[in-house]
Amino acid sequence: MSRLKICHTIISLIISFCLYAVINCEAKKPLLPPSRDTLRGTRLGSKAVPGEKIFNVKNFGAIPNGRKDNTQAFMKTWVAACHFKGRARVLIPPGVYALGPLIFAGPCIGPSPIIVQVSGTLKGDTDISLYEEPAWFQFENIDGLIVTGGGAFDGQGESAWKYNDCKNNNDCVQLPSNIKLNKVSNAILRGFTSADSKGVHIFITNSQNIRLKRLHIVAPGDSPNTDGVHISTSINVKVSKTIIATGDDCIGMIKGSTDVAINKVTCGPGHGISIGSLGKYENEEDVRGITVKNTTFLKTDNGIRIKTWPGSTPSLATGMIFQDLVMDNVRNPIIIDQGYCPSGCKKQPSRVKISNIQYINIRGTSSSEVGVNLMCSPQYQCENIHLFNINLKHIGNGPITATCANARVSTFGGLQSPRVTCHN
Instruction: Supply the residues annotated as catalytic.
Output: 248, 271
The answer to whether the peptide bond before residue 220 is cis (omega within 30 degrees of 0) is no
**How many CB atoms are closer than 10 A to CB 383?**
16
Q: Give just the sign of the alpha carbon dihedral 108, 109, 114, 119.
A: negative
The beta strand positions in 126-176, using DSSP E, are 135-148, 152-154
Gap between the terminal Cα atoms of the chain? 39
DSSP code of residue 157: G
Residue 18 and residue 23: Cα distance in Å, rounded? Answer: 9
**CA nearest 335: which of 311, 353, 308, 313?**
308
User: Coil, strand or helix: which one is 201?
Assistant: coil
The answer to whether the beta carbons of residues 98 and 125 sit under 8 Å apart is: yes
Residue 386 and residue 409: Cα distance in Å, rounded? Answer: 6
Residues near 381 by Cβ (< 8 Å), separated by ≥ 6? Answer: 406, 407, 408, 424
Phi, psi of 62 (to 5 degrees): -70, 140
The answer to whether the beta carbons of residues 286 and 257 sit under 8 Å apart is: no
Residues near 111 by Cβ (< 8 Å), separated by ≥ 6? Answer: 86, 87, 144
DSSP 45-79: TSS--TTPEEEEGGGGT---EEEEE-HHHHHHHHH
Residue 267 buriedness (CB in 10 A; 0-12 / 13-18 / 19+): buried
The beta strand positions in 149-214, using DSSP E, are 152-154, 177-190, 193-195, 202-205, 208-213
